[in-house]
Amino acid sequence: MPPSKPYIWQHKQWPKLTFDPAVVSQHIAAARRLQGEVEGKAGAIGLDQKGEVDAEVLAQEVIATAAIEGEKLDPTAVRSSVMRHLGLGDNGPFDRHVDGLVAVIGDAGTAFQMPLDHDRLYRWQSALFPGGTRGITRIAVGRYRDHSDPMQIVSGRPGKEKVHYEAPPSARMAIEMRSFLKWFASTTPAQGKAPKMDGLARAAVAHIWFESIHPFEDGNGRIGRAISDMAIAQDQDSPLRLYSLSRQLLECRAAYYDALNQAQRGSGDVTEWVAWFVQQIGAACKRSSEVIDRAIEKSRFWASHARTDLKPRQRKVLQRLLDDGDGGFEGGLNAEKYIKMTAVSKATATRDLAEMLAEGLLWTQGQGKGLRYFINVPGWSHGVGT
């Protein structure tokens, strides 16, 4: 993008953002159809499976929104935190940083009826940086940025930096955020009243607007995506988390940043951005359908073996194989892996595996030391055939 082209906030009409409904409507209609498919599948499973889907999608959202920023979280710590957050109980590892991010995303999706105000945003940002640090670097938390240096999005090595975007000066943060929060409140869907703006388009506009202000010293991307989650939950009028938008954005991370940069160098007409963002919501719904399909497959598997007498350790291993999905348990299961997972003797492992094979819970491939066991779910080939 030519450096001479003004930033979005330098135009006279800022902060007014517009888009062409005629162009965006077809993308909204397609995303709505995919939303309907996900909701239909979610309605076909029981409450236990819905909780499982909610936990899985929330974990995906947490891992992905951090990964977009180049931060890799421990999946085990994330899932433990998610289970605690959802009240499902978990004694797994605890990480304050992970717990803070789970709390922010969870609050955005479940307390969506509560107003979004300065204090709530301050608390969200503080939760992302427990102790007021990023690594060993101290950063301003619990308030908007107030430093005199320009807030820039930069990449490249020192001395060869490339400035992708420069946000409004820190001195303007109070007035900028007042305008944003006033708009967000005035466009929040009200029960029994026609919405002022389509909910999916509103989530897109909220994201580009917040990211263009970039009000905090750090954490703006994660908070901006949480705001989009909140807008979508308000549109659904439901706290049920059916799909992970951040995971989809991670899959197309380069295109995500390109779309943001294009819109932030524009005149305030964000039609292309809204269309692109809504398409990603649709793609996220497609991906979530796969998660729900797996939940349904797990439910059918256990239902078909409801009369099978299983030891707790056998059930634990089978659940692990189900959770990893078709081909997800790399290399298949063998006696050695079973021993590590259950802490039993080789003789007991061999007997347990033989019992599950005889009951049709598993099938095998190979012989001798190359013998591998695979969970017997219709349609799952594990990449090796049956």
User: pLDDT tens across 118-171, in order?
Assistant: 999 999 999 999 988 888 889 999 999 999 999 999 888 888 888 899 999 999
Per the prediction, the chain carries an average pLDDT of: 91
Q: Which CATH class is domain 8-295?
A: mainly alpha
What's CA 53's distance to the chain center, in Å? 12
CA atoms within 13 A on the CB side of 70: 3
Q: Quick one: pLDDT band at residue 52, thresholds 50, 70, 90?
A: confident
**pLDDT, tens digit (0-9, with 9 covering 90-100), for 325-340:** 888 888 899 999 999 9
Across 252-278, b (16+ Cβ under 10 Å) vs e yields eeeebbebbeebbbbebbbbbbbbbbb
* CATH code, 307-375: 1.10.10.10
Considering 2-16, 51-65, 137-151, the range whose residues carry the highest mean pLDDT is 137-151
Q: What are the domain boundaries of the chain?
A: 8-295, 307-375
pLDDT, tens digit, 9 for 90 and up, residues 174-197: 999 999 999 999 999 987 788 889
pLDDT at residue 24, as a whole number:
97
Which pLDDT score, from 0 to 100, does residue 290 have?
A: 79
Higher pLDDT pick, 342 / 2:
342
Question: What are 89's two structure tokens?
Answer: 């109980």
Query: How many whole angstroms separate alpha carbon 56 and alpha carbon 295?
Result: 10
Per-residue model confidence (pLDDT) at position 49: 61
pLDDT category, 293, cuts 50, 70, 90?
Answer: confident
pLDDT at 340: 95
pLDDT of residue 383 exceeding 90, the answer is: no
- Checking if the pLDDT of 47 tops 60, the result is no
Q: What is the pLDDT of residue 221?
A: 97
Binning pLDDT at 50, 70 and 90, where does residue 48 land?
Answer: low
E strand spans, 112-195: 133-134, 137-138, 152-155, 162-166
Q: What is the pTM of this model?
A: 0.81
* Predicted local distance difference test score (pLDDT) of residue 39: 87
The per-residue pLDDT for 2 is 46
Average pLDDT over residues 14-20: 96
CB 127 within 8 A of CB 104: yes
